[in-house]
């Protein structure tokens, strides 16, 4: 793990703990450091902040890595669920701890004035760290630690299921997924474990690029339409396509829409309308619930991009096909 990340997080916890305990008198540092009770409270606050950060990271993994794989809702819903869960789980516990500490010095939470002076400061710190975990989790030490543990546990569970299936004489239930994950030699997003084997990428945070049929961009991110009918939201825009090995397969057919030409052909009666095979088409209409007219509109080539389609068809047979295991980390 990056030493700068560890040091930066540690310094951050120390400074925030100091500010929470001093409030407006933060500049009187020497006065506070001479007090044994303050030093003990400072250390206790640092400990509590690290425990809160660890718990908030666990909630983040639960909502964005585990639950999102099983719920077809837009990403902003998870933002609301996550912020609410953090608030209603951390705040009551924190207030209970403070009530206990104030009782040791013969006072209570209300009489101490904490609810007027320190409560809003702590709430601001709590929500700021929550937003950091949502948009820049890689900047936090606990996310790095728990993510690695999550990947190792996922790998152990998958391998155990394969072993049990083989013992029972069944086909491995997720052999296809494991095979797609084992691309550590060519995929920069896959990390290797201590045994040298690749750690699997959580299915919620990465998809096989070959499975993306339509990449529809907007100002607020993009919607991925997969060949199995699923729709996945990502905050990334279409500029990421240029970084893919399979970029030449993705054709821009109108403003905001790129399509995977590996799965598409021209319709026989309509020269500038594209169509997937019947299985993919049925999945899009049945699973995603998209209207047929809307699907046709998305797969119609705009007149400004028709020359790109002609050029693609000319060089199609020369395009690379060694990119089918490439993954896109959309979260």
- Taking CA atoms, 330 is separated from 241, 258, 310, in Å, by 12, 16, 30
One domain, residues 50 and 78: yes
Question: Could you identify the residue written with the tokens 């983040």?
Answer: 60
One domain, residues 14 and 37: yes
One domain, residues 169 and 199: yes
| Per-residue tens of pLDDT for the chain, all 331 residues | 567 888 998 999 999 988 888 876 777 878 888 888 888 888 999 999 999 999 999 898 888 777 765 666 677 888 899 999 999 999 999 999 988 888 887 777 777 778 877 888 999 999 999 999 988 888 888 887 776 666 566 666 656 665 676 666 554 433 333 333 333 333 444 455 555 555 554 444 688 898 999 999 887 788 899 998 888 888 888 889 988 988 999 999 999 999 999 999 998 778 899 999 888 888 888 877 788 888 999 999 998 899 999 999 999 888 887 777 788 888 7
One domain, residues 278 and 324: yes
One domain, residues 133 and 23: yes
One domain, residues 168 and 286: no
Any idea how long the chain is?
A: 331
One domain, residues 163 and 200: yes
One domain, residues 78 and 157: no
Q: Out of 92, 110, 139, pick the residue that ends a domain.
A: 139
DSSP 8-state class, residue 316? G
Domain boundaries, position 173: 146-204
Q: Out of 157, 188, 204, pick the residue that ends a domain.
A: 204
C-alpha of 281 from chain center: 28
- Taking CA atoms, 109 is separated from 39, 100, 124, 308, in Å, by 20, 9, 19, 68
Q: Out of 178, 204, 230, pick the residue that ends a domain.
A: 204
**pLDDT tens for each residue of 274-327:** 999 888 888 888 877 788 888 999 999 998 899 999 999 999 888 887 777 788
One domain, residues 31 and 83: yes
Q: What's the start-to-end Cα distance of the chain, in Å?
A: 21
**pLDDT tens for each residue of 211-255:** 999 999 887 788 899 998 888 888 888 889 988 988 999 999 999
Total domains present in the chain? 3
- Residue 288: is it exposed, middle or buried by C-beta count within 10 angstroms (0-12/13-18/19+)? middle
Please state, in angstroms and rounded to a whole number, the distance separating the CA atoms of residues 315 and 259: 16
One domain, residues 133 and 9: yes
List 234's β-bridge partners, or say none.
222
| Phi then psi dihedrals of residue 222, to 5 deg | -150, 155
One domain, residues 211 and 316: yes
- Taking CA atoms, 94 is separated from 45, 54, 105, 300, in Å, by 10, 14, 17, 56
Q: What global pTM score does this model have?
A: 0.49
Question: In this structure, what token pair is assigned to residue 266?
Answer: 């021209």
The CATH number covering residue 304 comes to 2.40.50
- How many Cβ atoms are within 10 Å of 257's Cβ, its own excluded? 22
One domain, residues 184 and 227: no
């Amino acid at each position: 793990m990056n030493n700068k990340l560890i040091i930066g997080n540690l310094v951050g916890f120390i400074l925030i703990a100091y500010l929470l305990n001093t409030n407006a008198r933060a500049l009187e540092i020497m006065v506070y450091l001479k007090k044994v009770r303050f030093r003990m409270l400072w250390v206790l606050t640092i400990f509590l902040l690290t425990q809160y950060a660890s718990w908030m990271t666990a909630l983040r993994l639960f909502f964005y890595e585990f639950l999102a794989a099983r719920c077809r809702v837009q990403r902003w819903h998870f933002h609301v669920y996550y912020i609410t869960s953090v608030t209603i789980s951390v705040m009551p516990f924190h207030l209970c701890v403070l009530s206990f500490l104030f009782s040791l010095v013969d006072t209570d939470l209300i009489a101490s004035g904490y609810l007027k002076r320190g409560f809003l400061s702590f709430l601001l710190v709590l929500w700021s760290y929550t937003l950091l975990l949502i948009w820049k989790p890689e900047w936090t030490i606990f996310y790095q630690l728990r993510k690695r543990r999550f990947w190792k546990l996922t790998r152990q569970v998958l391998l155990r299921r394969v072993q049990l299936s083989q013992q029972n004489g069944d086909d491995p239930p997720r052999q296809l997924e494991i095979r797609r994950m084992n691309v550590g030699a060519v995929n920069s997003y896959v990390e290797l474990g201590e045994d040298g084997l690749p750690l699997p990428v959580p299915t919620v945070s990465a998809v096989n690029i070959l499975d993306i049929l339509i990449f529809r961009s907007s100002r607020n991110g993009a919607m991925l339409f997969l060949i199995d009918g699923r729709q996945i939201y990502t905050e990334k825009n279409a500029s990421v396509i240029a970084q893919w090995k399979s970029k030449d397969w993705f054709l821009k057919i109108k403003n905001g829409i790129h399509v995977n030409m590996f799965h598409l052909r021209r319709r026989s009666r309509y020269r500038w309308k594209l169509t997937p095979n019947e299985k993919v088409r049925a999945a899009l209409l049945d699973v995603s619930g998209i209207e047929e007219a809307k699907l046709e509109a998305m797969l119609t080539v705009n007149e400004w991009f028709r020359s790109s389609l002609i050029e693609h068809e000319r060089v199609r047979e020369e395009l690379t096909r060694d990119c089918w295991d490439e993954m896109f980390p959309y979260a």
